[in-house]
């Protein structure tokens, strides 16, 4: 299948939601249309829920919290780090939402360790100081314990009690905690999905905080939906959300993005090598010598004890503990708590630590058999270290007989490249399979994303949300120009094929004529004076931008006239053109219901590109009801592209 170089923008890189190679569709076959239809249906369902929920919240009166007072400012001051600008903005957004009488539904998106918990802490403090209770829902028991420790420590100087319900607690302990919650004696309750069970009742719930919502199941989501219309909801996620999706969600879901790392945070030094005992011993001892702790990840429960015993022989000076999901609850709790309290130097564990655990003194992680894990898991696991001012190290060890596929090697290399802080977002855009890719705004959608690719999936969400909000939505016009002149970048002018392709892509994705002079200058500066073919290409690109603005799908240039084809969706309303056409009967004629022929006199290219341009500008000045693709709006109506 060949496409003209000037229309390269219609190609998208396929990024699915899993590691599998995509199944190719036959040109002219039905499978692609069916997959697209299925994805559209699923997207519409999600968008409908979001839009309905938004409408419900809009008309529902919630509780308006008071403005921050002296005690709130005092609580803020107990934060031991300097806030980043993004963090300050996120806190302001949350406080503003809470002060409104419309129930809050805000999503805080930030990389691992960028301070989302602090935003949640301040929201919780605001709620309890206004006499309301707070529920915090987290995906794992270990994370619940971690948050319980953090919240308890920060609330200690104040008369607010923090409680926890999790599988680490006995039935009697849970019953007592829940009785105190009902009586209003516990102000903040932290727990896993146990919080959503019927016996959990609050005296005066005002705020629900949800950590990594996309990790909860369908039934739990349904229960959360009921909460959303009644109380303020603050959701936290480390799943990156691309800019396009942020724009699509404006006015449906409120987003705050934390992209800047804490100032004193250092990037994680990452090494990739085959398993080697001397490397492991050296890595563990180096960390112990500076008073730190080590995570050793071995994600095979069957052989984890053997690995622990091997490490005991290898590093006898280290105190070891083992943690994985198949341990008895008490044993798992004990291992984690001992590690938290620094009674253990090395925690030999499964990927149970992948979500949210925050242990600032653990600054080395060794991940064994890294080739068996997905990129998303590795990225999350690596984020467990480097959460303090200390330099952190991650050792990614390959199985001894590992045969990495080229694809797996590429992805691990990508991870090595993205050692910078806040790389989560950029890494996700580099390879959207990270973190399952399918968790779009808290909804697991990996199957649909795999079917149509991420970029198209995001476009479908934009379309569904716009339509459900009652806005007009048009597919962005990608004009075709049929003109009989050579318009391309010759190999002798730009020799590198990759560079040529990149320039074509950049030219074809320009959205405004104002960007073209800059591109002209750059090309001339890098490759010298333009040969005729390049001059022609730039002229064609300028016409393309004009056609895009006028909502014209295709232009055919003949010896004395141009024929303009409008989209079939009725975007060209002939009524808007009639006055102008009536005044110039010898110049314009309709060749079909969506085709307009314009006489411009003798056309000899490249000399007469200016003539074509003038004819198009004249149409624009005639106030044709056009679709402005650069703004995504049809003139005179609030619509989305």
Domain range for 225 is 51-258
Q: Is the pLDDT of residue 408 over 70?
A: no
Q: Name 230's Cβ contacts closer than 8 Å, sequence gap at least 6.
A: 60, 62, 103
Q: What is the dihedral of CA 192, 195, 196, 202, to 10 degrees?
A: -160
Q: Which long-range contacts (CB under 8 A, 24 or more apart) does 27-31 make?
A: 27/1
Give the whole-angstrom CA distance, residue 609 versus residue 538: 11
Same domain for 85 and 160, yes or no, is yes
In the predicted structure, residue 481 carries a pLDDT above the cut 60:
yes
pLDDT digits (tens, 9 = 90+) for 323-375: 988 888 778 878 887 898 899 999 999 987 766 567 889 999 999 998 888 76
Let me know whether 516 and 390 are in one domain.
Answer: no
Residue 220 has pLDDT above 50, yes or no: yes
Q: Average pLDDT of the chain? A: 81
In a domain, 98, yes or no: yes
The residue among 402, 420, 438 that closes a domain is 420
d(CA 574, CA 230): 49
Measured in degrees and rounded to the nearest 5, phi and psi for residue 300 equal -125, 105
Over the stretch 303-337, which tens digit does the pLDDT of each residue have?
Answer: 999 999 999 999 999 999 999 888 887 788 788 87
Q: Looking at the DSSP assignment, which residues form a beta bridge with residue 63?
A: none
Strands 293-297 and 346-349: parallel
CB atoms closer than 10 angstroms to residue 285: 14
Measured distance CA(416)–CA(599) in Å, rounded: 59
With contact defined as beta carbons under 8 Å apart, do 238 and 212 qualify? yes
Is the same domain home to 253 and 274? no
| pLDDT tier for residue 631 given thresholds of 50, 70 and 90 | very low
State residue 157's pLDDT score.
95
Is there a contact between 629 and 635 (Cβ–Cβ < 8 Å)?
Answer: no
- Look at residue 141 and tell me if it is in a domain: yes
Kindly state the tokens that stand for 200. Answer: 């959990």
Q: Is residue 224 part of a domain?
A: yes
C-alpha 36/C-alpha 29 separation (Å) is 13
Last residue of a domain, one of 405, 420, 435: 420
Per-residue pLDDT, 636: 37
Residue 301 and residue 194 in one domain = no
Q: Are residues 312 and 222 in the same domain?
A: no
Instruction: Please report, for the domain that includes residue 120, its CATH number.
Output: 3.40.50.300
> In this model, does residue 412 exceed pLDDT 60?
yes
Whole-number pLDDT of residue 439: 47
Helix 141-155 to helix 116-129 angle (10° resolution) is 60
Read off the pLDDT band of 567 (50, 70, 90): confident
pLDDT tens column, 246-284 = 555 666 678 888 887 777 677 788 888 889 999 999 999
Phi-psi group of 266: left, alpha or beta (phi > 0 → left; psi -120 to 50 → alpha; rest → beta)? beta
Answer yes or no: is 210 within a domain: yes
Q: Is 602 exposed, middle or buried (0-12, 13-18, 19+ CB in 10 A)?
A: exposed
From the CB of residue 554, how many other CB atoms can be counted at a distance below 10 Å? 18
**Do both 225 and 279 map to the same domain?**
no
Nearest to 586 by CA among 598, 578, 574, 575: 598
pLDDT value for 628 = 40
Q: Is residue 610 part of a domain?
A: yes
Asked whether residue 221 falls in the same domain as residue 326, the answer is no
> Quick one: 254 and 286 in the same domain?
no
Q: Which residues contact 471 (CB under 8 A, 6 or more apart)?
A: 638, 639, 640
Instruction: Tell me how long the chain is.
Output: 641
Q: Are residues 504 and 626 in the same domain?
A: yes
Residue 277 belongs to some domain of the structure? yes
> How buried is residue 420: exposed, middle or buried, by Cβ count under 10 Å (0-12/13-18/19+)?
exposed
Residue 364 lies in a domain: yes
pLDDT at residue 48, rounded to an integer: 80
* pLDDT band at residue 71 under the 50/70/90 scheme: very high
Q: Is the pLDDT of residue 407 over 80?
A: no
| Residue 556 burial (C-beta neighbours within 10 Å; 0-12, 13-18, 19+) | middle
User: Any idea what the CATH number is for the domain that residue 576 is in?
Assistant: 3.90.1150.50
Cβ neighbours for 198, distance < 8 A, ≥ 6 positions apart? none
CA–CA–CA angle 295, 239, 144 (5° rounding): 55
- Conformational region of residue 632, where left means phi above 0, alpha means psi within -120 to 50, and beta covers everything else: left
Does 43 reside within a domain? Answer: no
Does 228 lie in the same domain as 84? yes
Show which of 258, 285, 314 is a domain's final residue: 258
pLDDT category, 393, cuts 50, 70, 90? very high
Cβ atoms of residues 419 and 393 within 8 Å: no
User: Which helix (H) or strand (E) covers residue 241, if one does?
Assistant: none
Alpha-carbon span 552 to 538, nearest angstrom: 19
As a whole-number percent, the residues of the chain with pLDDT over 90 amount to 33
Number of domains, the chain = 3
pTM: 0.63
Radius of gyration of the chain (CA): 29
Longest distance between any two alpha carbons in the chain, whole Å: 95
The pLDDT, as a whole number, for residue 514 is 84
Measured in degrees and rounded to the nearest 5, phi and psi for residue 397 equal -105, 130
Distance of CA 462 to the CA centre of its chain: 14
Is the domain of 242 the same as that of 338?
no
The per-residue DSSP string of 528-561 comes to -SPPHHHHHHHHHHHHHHHHHHHT--EEEE-SSE
pLDDT band at 24 (very low <50, low <70, confident <90, very high): confident
Q: How far apart, in Å, are the Cα atoms of 489 and each of 432, 497, 519, 533, 537?
A: 31, 10, 13, 7, 8
- What tokens were used for 49? 């829920």
Beta strands 105-110 and 232-237, pairing class: parallel
Is the distance from CB of 418 to CB of 383 less than 8 angstroms?
no
Rounded to the nearest 10 degrees, how much is the dihedral formed by the CA atoms of 298, 300, 303, 304? 40
Do residues 318 and 400 share a domain?
A: yes
What confidence score (pLDDT) does residue 426 get? 46
């Amino acid at each position: 299948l060949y496409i003209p170089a000037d229309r390269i923008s219609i190609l998208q890189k396929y990024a699915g939601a899993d590691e599998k190679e995509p199944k190719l569709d036959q040109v002219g076959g039905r499978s692609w249309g069916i997959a697209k239809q299925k994805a559209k249906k699923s997207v519409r369902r999600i968008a409908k829920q979001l839009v309905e929920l938004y409408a419900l919240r809009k008309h529902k009166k919630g509780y308006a919290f008071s403005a921050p007072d002296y005690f709130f400012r005092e609580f803020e001051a107990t934060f031991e780090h300097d806030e980043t600008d993004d963090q300050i903005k996120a806190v302001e957004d949350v406080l503003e939402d809470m002060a409104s009488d419309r129930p809050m539904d805000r999503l805080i998106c930030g990389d691992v360790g960028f301070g989302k918990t602090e935003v949640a802490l301040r929201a919780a403090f605001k709620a309890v100081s206004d006499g309301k209770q707070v529920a915090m829902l987290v995906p794992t028991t270990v994370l619940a314990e971690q948050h319980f420790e953090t919240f308890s420590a920060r609330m200690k100087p104040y008369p607010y009690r923090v409680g926890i319900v999790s599988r680490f607690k006995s039935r009697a302990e849970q019953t007592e905690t829940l009785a105190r919650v009902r009586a209003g004696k516990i102000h903040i309750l932290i727990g896993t999905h146990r919080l959503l069970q019927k016996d959990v009742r609050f005296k005066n719930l005002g705020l629900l905080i949800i950590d990594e919502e996309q990790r909860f199941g369908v039934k739990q989501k349904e229960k959360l939906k009921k909460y959303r219309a009644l109380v303020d909801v603050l959701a936290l996620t480390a799943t990156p959300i691309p800019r396009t999706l942020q724009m699509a969600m404006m006015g449906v879901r409120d987003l705050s993005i934390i992209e800047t790392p804490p100032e004193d945070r250092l990037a994680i030094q990452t090494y990739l090598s085959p398993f080697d005992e001397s490397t492991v011993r050296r890595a563990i001892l180096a960390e112990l010598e500076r008073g730190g702790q080590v995570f050793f990840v071995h994600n095979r429960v069957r052989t984890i004890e053997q690995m622990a015993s091997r490490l005991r022989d290898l590093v006898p000076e280290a105190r070891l503990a083992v943690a994985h999901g198949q341990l008895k609850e008490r044993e798992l709790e004990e291992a984690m708590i001992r590690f938290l309290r620094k009674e253990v130097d090395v925690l030999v564990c499964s990927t149970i630590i992948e979500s949210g655990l925050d242990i600032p003194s653990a600054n080395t992680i060794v991940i064994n058999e890294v080739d068996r894990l997905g990129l998303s898991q590795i990225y999350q696991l690596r984020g467990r270290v480097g959460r303090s001012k200390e330099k952190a190290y991650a050792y990614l060890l390959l199985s001894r007989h590992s045969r990495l596929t080229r694809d797996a090697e590429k992805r691990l290399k990508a991870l090595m490249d993205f050692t910078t802080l806040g790389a989560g977002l950029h890494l996700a855009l580099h390879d959207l399979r990270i973190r399952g890719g399918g968790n779009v705004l808290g909804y697991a959608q990996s199957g649909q994303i795999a079917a149509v690719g991420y970029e198209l999936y995001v476009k479908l969400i934009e379309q569904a949300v716009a339509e459900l909000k009652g806005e007009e939505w048009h597919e962005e016009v990608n004009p075709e120009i049929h003109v009989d002149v050579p318009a391309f970048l010759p190999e002798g002018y730009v020799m590198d094929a990759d560079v040529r392709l990149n320039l074509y892509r950049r030219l074809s994705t320009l959205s405004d004529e104002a960007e073209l002079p800059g591109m002209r200058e750059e090309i001339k500066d890098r490759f010298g004076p333009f040969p005729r073919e390049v001059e022609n290409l730039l002229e064609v690109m300028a016409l393309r931008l004009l056609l895009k603005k006028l909502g014209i799908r295709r232009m055919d240039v003949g010896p004395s006239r141009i024929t303009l084809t409008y989209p079939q969706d009725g975007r060209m309303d002939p009524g808007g053109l009639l006055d102008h056409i009536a005044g110039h009967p010898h110049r314009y004629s309709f060749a079909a219901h969506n085709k307009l022929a314009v006489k411009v006199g003798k056309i000899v290219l490249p000399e007469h590109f200016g003539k074509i341009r003038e004819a198009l500008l004249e149409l624009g000045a005639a106030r044709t009801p056009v679709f402005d693709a650069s703004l995504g709006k049809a003139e005179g109506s609030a619509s989305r592209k």
